[in-house]
Amino acid sequence: MRTQVAIIGAGPAGLLLSHLLSLENVESVVLEDKSRSYVESRIRAGVLEHGTAQLLSDSGIGERMNREGMPHGGINLGFSGRLHRIDFSQLTGKAIMVYGQHEVVKDLIAARLGNGGQVLFEVSDVTLDRIATNEPRVSFRYQGQNQEITCDWIAGCDGFHGVSRTAIPSGTLTFFEKTYPFAWLGILAEAAPAWEELIYANHEDGFALFSMRSPRITRLYLQCHPDEDLSLWSDDRIWENLEKRLAFPGDKCVRRGKILQKSVTAMRSFVAEPMQYARLFLAGDAAHVVPPTGAKGMNLAVGDVWLLARALANFYQKGRTDLLESYSQRALRRAWKAQRFSWWMTCLMHRFDHDDAFEYKRQLAELDYLTTSHAAATALAENYVGLPWDD
């Protein structure tokens, strides 16, 4: 099998890259080790930056998103028992879109397969070879047979645990990591959202997040220990803690419903530098992971593949290699800004075990400043709705 770009991973990064390349008449094949049903039902992030939503619309993928998604013009910060709204529309002229990552994946798969794109699910034994030559090779097993793709370039979009990053020779990459001493206990509940926009709550018992996935499904999180035993968290205990941490003046409160899913999400930061080696490019979680507090994970991946698709299109259409050669530098510049923002939001909203009363009061003072200063609120809004992909 021969193609121009072999893409490893059928998450939002790999699928969107394949879609964007197809619009530029660049051939690609996407390899995914999970089944189609698995990747379409895998619950992940649900907040799309302004630029992400705009790109999906402009590239012909946004019809269902624009019909079913929920545009939000701001978020709420909860602290000291009160809610304070950060008005994105007023501060930046932009908004975010609440639309589940798995819904984006469904739309992208339908578009790729509907347009004759090659997306191979349930492949195994993927091996990257000859990536330092002009004709890289990807070997894999598919439908009981050993197969091979030769290509010009490989895009590693297969996540933190994928094979792409580990195919780069040892000692080539530098890793930067930070592990946080807490996690998120998350639930997906069959309950209509009580509030219209997200709430980030700083509470003396720990952080809580109110979010949603649709007009009928609520997504909620509680700060917990990284090794939390889910069996100790009954539904009633979860709801009681959410109700306590998300209690604010007014007639709105957390609505209970059937809990459809429980999980514990680790909190970590990770960056691999550089994001390219010879004919292999890394994108999304294969190159960087952020704590979910700032809602940057999928949006960073989208920014990566937007840069990479443009660079590859320029190579095939104009013979230019400069954008390919500078891909890592440009992608990392934005990734580190997202790391900074995610780290700041995480430290601002969570309780650390070693923090004393002084640190908690300092957090509250910073939140008070943030919600009363136009300049500080604007900085938060600019980062949350999304910084430029190539500034």
Catalytic residues: 72, 200, 292, 296, 384
How far does CA 72 lie from the centroid of its chain? Answer: 18
Say how far apart CA 367 and CA 339 lie, in whole Å. Answer: 20
Tokens representing 382? 């600019």
Beta bridge partners of 219: 188, 211
Reduced to 3 states (helix: H, G, I; strand: E, B; else coil), residue 160 is coil
Do 290 and 300 form a contact (C-beta atoms < 8 A)? yes
Say how far apart CA 154 and CA 45 lie, in whole Å. Answer: 26
Question: Which backbone phi and psi does 344 adopt, to 5 degrees?
Answer: -65, -45
Say how far apart CA 150 and CA 139 lie, in whole Å. Answer: 9
Say how far apart CA 108 and CA 252 lie, in whole Å. Answer: 36
Say how far apart CA 167 and CA 348 lie, in whole Å. Answer: 37
Do 117 and 23 form a contact (C-beta atoms < 8 A)? no
Q: How much is the CA Rg of the chain, to the nearest whole Å?
A: 21
- Residues with Cβ within 8 Å of 230's Cβ and at least 6 positions away in sequence, in order, are 185, 262, 263, 264
* Helical ranges in 251-373 per DSSP H: 297-318, 322-325, 327-349, 357-370
* Residue owning tokens 């900074």: 340
Q: What is the DSSP letter of 34?
A: S
